[in-house]
Structure 1
């Protein structure tokens, strides 16, 4: 009998499993009933949804990300539903090194690079790709009352705010309502470019201001294609790590999206003994040297690892400070997975990691 797995079943079961592992309910059946009842209610439409731009600030006060989130008439945010429109396929896009360059002063480049680096959408880009983003952006001056993007129009550009105040307006039941305001920082317009959908809100200048814009083609070729290449590269890396053979393709793909590239030079400390654990590291390229401090303060080398291995998981599993230091031997490139993502994404591998860490501890003590 040919059985077809329904769309969304994998995501549904994965989210439920994560919720169970986090909550550890006493009665799994009662928890399941409550969980899926709430999930069903969350999916029901609440009047006419609209998309507004939301900024979340990090501890330093810089914008952490800019994204469109659906908001119902009750004021509550719902999970954005997927857009069933034709999307850009980076796999079908042929490589082309002929990127657009708009000249800028050194001061403009420095300021724009800093702004771009603070936007979540660009944080996973390599320095070369960030430079391409800055090169591709062109300046646009606006005056009070000028409409930058109009709800319902096709997406043409992605915008980063340099200066100025901008209102975000949405048509709700035939009435234009202000749903958000940018004040001299932020970015907008990426959703229509990523999903080939019409503009979901109007953005209008309140004051004079300056925007940096990137056209649709450059945005897709640099941002979306680089994200595709990064995922493919890290999927290949993760497939070569024996401990991760338990993961299915979807889990490996999700893990690849969460990894962040870091580069260390010869002799540089990647982690230091005694530090609080921040995450786990996968060696992407190069060699690392592991040392442990003796009671007299000297460091003893206890191991060397190369590409397709990982380290740093022991402190996370045991929730203890780092028990060893790790140094780069030559130039080393690693893929870093932060602590918050560790258990959520590597749950199926934690038990094997625990057994490996016990063997590792025994070998060190001997």
Structure 2
């Protein structure tokens, strides 16, 4: 039910006019409109009702049991489509107890959700196929003006929202302290409820009629947490195949695995530039790169299981070569601090790999470019 005009003035907004915004968007069938005064997080949540565990033991098992086979099938085998793929985001477990929900949406809506999710630091580095599962699980919700999408003080908040159209006010103790609008870079809210079991810190109330995409906590935790555990196992197995990590203890390998972040590059992308400063060490999970100095290739092409970028970190120096992706590649990246802490004692071992370093070490050093 629309709220009465309280005469409240709103701060200048970066949101474009709502009517103009609505006119520019394709009309969507309103299959799930809410005209209640408050939209409870737990209402209309078929996923959580259907999947509620029957006991504490079941809850513990359900928390980490994911139908990765169904995920991989839905993705059309994308996780293993590359010729030299070494690390895949999903590996089917032996049991299948839960399948992530799929809420149909247009390609345009899916891409809009994907862009919004990537802007959130919580989701910024998750693998692309995991992101696709989350996008598929997003549910469409339409809310009338005056309705609270989330309410301050509510406990058990379990939904993350992306605003697709309209404007919402953010209120703390009924005082407007901000706004969320569909056209702003930060058009999402409620993400912390996916991680922490704490009351909602603010009320988000629809100023206009709004359309949202929402993600439930169950899907997020089951997919993301299980993926994290599967990814750790895969990385540990992968690191065991990379010679320079062979001397690390199991604990050290686990530390490296947890510190790795994924970076995707396209054919022709420059990963490192000769003479520039750098803080990262790279392992190739899938793909191929070339190393050049002064425009000339200085080593054999590097592929899955090879690594680069360590020289600048060992010597606290600038990059000694330019590294370019020859095709779409998946890289595992380790930051300087972790590299120095774990791999610092292995510097002598790294230097002895003359087959990789001879052309670098015998040539004049590159100095920092201005």
Q: Is the TM-score greater than 0.5?
A: yes
Contact 1:275 1:321 in 2 (8 A): yes
Contact 1:122 1:223 in 2 (8 A): no
> Any gaps of 5 or more consecutive residues in structure 2?
1-58, 72-98, 364-370
Q: Does 1:164 align with 2:167?
A: yes
Aligned pairs for 1:217-228 (under 5 A) are 217-228=218-229
Q: Which residue number in structure 1 is paired with residue 260 of structure 2?
A: 259
Structure 1 residue 207 displacement after superposition: 1.6
Q: Which has the higher contact order (CA 8 A, sep 6+)?
A: 2
| Secondary structure, aligned partner of 1:303 | coil
Contact 2:140 2:214 in 1 (8 A): yes
Q: Which residue number in structure 1 is paired with residue 141 of structure 2?
A: 140
**Whole-Å separation in 2 of the counterparts to 1:166 and 1:254:** 42
Q: Which residue number in structure 2 is paired with residue 129 of structure 1?
A: 130
Structure 2 residue aligned with 1:303, among 290, 293, 300? Answer: 300
Q: Deviations over 1:81-101 (max 9, x none)?
A: xxxxx8787543343435433
Structure 1 residue 213 displacement after superposition: 0.4
Aligned pairs for 1:236-315 (under 5 A) are 236-245=237-246, 247-249=248-250, 251-264=252-265, 269-293=270-294, 299-315=296-312
**Whole-Å separation in 1 of the counterparts to 2:258 and 2:189:** 22
If each structure's strand is expressed as a fraction of its own residues, which one has the higher value? 1
Q: Does 1:353 align with 2:352?
A: no
> Any gaps of 5 or more consecutive residues in structure 1?
1-85, 170-175
Structure 1 residue 123 displacement after superposition: 1.8
**Whole-Å separation in 2 of the counterparts to 1:240 and 1:182:** 50
Q: Which residue number in structure 2 is paired with residue 116 of structure 1?
A: 117
Q: Which residue number in structure 2 is paired with residue 201 of structure 1?
A: 201
TM-score, scaled relative to structure 1: 0.59
Structure 1 residue 140 displacement after superposition: 2.3
**Whole-Å separation in 2 of the counterparts to 1:249 and 1:193:** 31
Alpha-carbon distance change, 259 to 179 in structure 1, aligned in 2, over 3 angstroms: farther
Structure 1 residue 116 displacement after superposition: 1.2
TM-score, scaled relative to structure 2: 0.59
Alpha-carbon distance change, 260 to 142 in structure 1, aligned in 2, over 3 angstroms: same
Aligned-residue CA RMSD (Å): 3.6
Equivalent residues, number: 267
Alpha-carbon distance change, 268 to 148 in structure 1, aligned in 2, over 3 angstroms: closer
Q: Does 1:93 align with 2:96?
A: no
| Secondary structure, aligned partner of 1:102 | coil
If each structure's helix is expressed as a fraction of its own residues, which one has the higher value? 1
